[in-house]
Amino acid sequence: MGLTVVGVNHRTAPIELRERFYVPAADVPAAMERLLLAPDVEECAVLSTCNRTECYVVAAEVGHGERAATVTLAERAGLTPEAAAGHLYVRRNREAALHLFRVAAGLDSMVVGEPQIQGQVEQAYRASRDARPDGVGLVLHRLFQSALAAGGRVRAETAIGEGAASVPAAAVQLVLKVFGTLEGRRAMVIGAGEMGEETLRSLLDRGIDEAVVASRTLARAEEAVARLAHPAVRAVPYLAVADVLRSVDVVLTSTSAPHPIVTADALRASRGTEGRSMVIVDIALPRDVEAGVGDLPGIFLYNIDDLQRVVHATVQAREAEGRAAEVLLGEELDGFWGWLLAREAVPLIRGLREEAERIRRETMEVALEGITDLSPEERERILGASRLVVQRILHAPTVGLRKLAGGAAGAEQLEVARRLFEMNGRGRPARADEEEGTGMGRGEDDGE
């Protein structure tokens, strides 16, 4: 059995090319059909996110599904297999399993420890299983479930997901340092671009009571609100910003204005003599908020440099936690790989027993053929003794094979055992295809 993953990610291709490899859920059935048509491919699954597209394949032998996965991905991107190969990576057997474990734990993400990837892995598994229930078999089912469990353990036992590793998340983290909680707070986000929308999502995730979004064009703010589809968010006209400043606790700005849009004079006029605290986080470059705003009483002002320091510190902390996570993943991987190799040992053990039984049965038939004065009880006693001899002889090899399968070099040692016992990967005598029905074969020469 061979496990292989072929894929492309943020390290091997720019976003313009990753978009071409991307496989939406609606196209997963066709991609799996293409993979399952390849000779010897027994199982497959497709994982596709904004940062990666990967094909997981289980085949009769390692590497047999590699070409099929490469061609499938190349066709998605409109490239030749040779051109696509320059952007693809290939992992085989234990390394393929470890790769998925690291993906599910967030260790292979653009931002180490990002929480969304675990859900994306689970969705990919379910999409592949639903698309072709016969395509996701026991091996890939166990692989994905083990990877998800390993990712959950990493998040539970390390701090790899803590802290803010994106600018919007860092902005909200700075707000929380001042207020402790967003419950009962109102926020205004100025700027309805991608950064502003992500900031709104972070605020909602942290439980903000109400948020308003303002943009130079009301239509753009309304579009952002529609995408969020959350009752706590509403759009306001750009001219209403000064009025909204009177009643909000948090302001986050991310416009492309060439000059400050929040000045000290304007804020002083809107707030009057109130001593109420306000946190303003200016994500824009050039800055949206005049530097003098930070001198006003009760105002906590942060800019992009403050955020970058938070992000940098978080990334460094996550990288340190990543080393601890790798140790945990190694433990989880050993469990999965031991299960897989023990499963691989079953056909060999079964084939060994069946071959020994065949030899015993044929040998006893020849030995007892000329003995006519045995009673049925005596005959059965002799046959029972021969079965017991075979069982005792095979006991130690059977135990040994199971131990070999669970070892670090289990795959290689099982292959040596197959050659030693002249068995193929399906647990049949290697010569069976040539000598099917020919009796004992070379066993007749044992007494040389």
pLDDT for position 448: 32
Least confident of 23-32, 106-115, 141-150, 408-417: 408-417
Judged on CB neighbours under 10 Å (0-12, 13-18, 19+), 25 is middle
- What is the Cα 255 distance to its own chain's centre? 35
Greatest mean pLDDT among 67-81, 103-117, 279-293, 372-386: 67-81
- Pairwise pLDDT comparison (306 vs 180), residue with the higher score: 180
pLDDT digits (tens, 9 = 90+) for 103-160: 999 889 876 787 778 888 999 999 999 999 999 999 999 999 999 999 999 989 988 8
- Which pLDDT score, from 0 to 100, does residue 436 have? 45
In which band, very low, low, confident or very high, does the pLDDT at 379 lie, cut at 50, 70 and 90?
A: confident
Q: Comparing 129 with 376, which gets the higher pLDDT?
A: 129
Instruction: Check residue 322 and give its pLDDT.
Output: 85
User: Residue 280 has what pLDDT?
Assistant: 96
What tokens appear for 243 in the block? 């009025």
| Strand 2-9 relative to strand 89-92, pairing | antiparallel
pLDDT band of residue 275 (cuts 50, 70, 90) is: low
Higher pLDDT, 315 or 211: 211
Copy the structure tokens of residue 48: 């596709």
Task: Classify 186 in phi/psi space as left (phi over 0), alpha (psi -120 to 50) or beta.
Answer: beta
Q: Give the gyration radius of the chain's Cα atoms.
A: 32
Q: Can you tell me the distance from the alpha carbon of 208 to that of 164, in angstroms, rounded to the nearest whole number?
A: 17
Burial letters 365-379, b for 16+ CB under 10 A, else e: eeeeeeeeeeeeeee
Nearest one of 418, 441, 442 to 350, comparing CA atoms: 418
Confidence of residue 428 (pLDDT cuts 50, 70, 90): low
What's the whole-number mean pLDDT along residues 385-405? 81
Residue 442: the pLDDT is 37
pLDDT at residue 31, as a whole number: 96
Amino acid at 372: T
| Alpha-carbon gap, residue 49 to 276, rounded angstroms | 44
Specify the pLDDT at position 390: 86
Q: Which residue has the higher pLDDT, 431 or 380?
A: 380
CATH superfamily of the 167-302 domain? NAD(P)-binding Rossmann-like Domain (3.40.50.720)
C-alpha angle 344/149/138, rounded to 5°? 30
Cβ contact 315:183 at 8 Å = no
2-157: CATH homologous superfamily?
A: Glutamyl-tRNA reductase, N-terminal domain (3.30.460.30)
Name which of 67-71, 272-276, 317-321, 409-413 the model is least confident about.
409-413
* pLDDT (mean) for 15-22: 86
Mean pLDDT of 392-404: 78
pTM over 0.75: no
Name residue 281's beta-bridge partners.
252, 302
| Residue of 11, 39, 50, 162 marked active site | 50
Q: What pLDDT score was predicted for residue 435? A: 46
| C-alpha span between 442 and 447 (Å, rounded) | 11
What are the sequence ranges of the domains in the chain?
2-157, 167-302, 338-445
Residue 55 among the catalytic residues: no
In DSSP terms, which residues pair with 8 in a beta bridge? 53
Rounded alpha-carbon distances, angstroms, from residue 145 to 118, 120, 336: 11, 13, 10
Closest CA to 6 of 83, 72, 66: 66
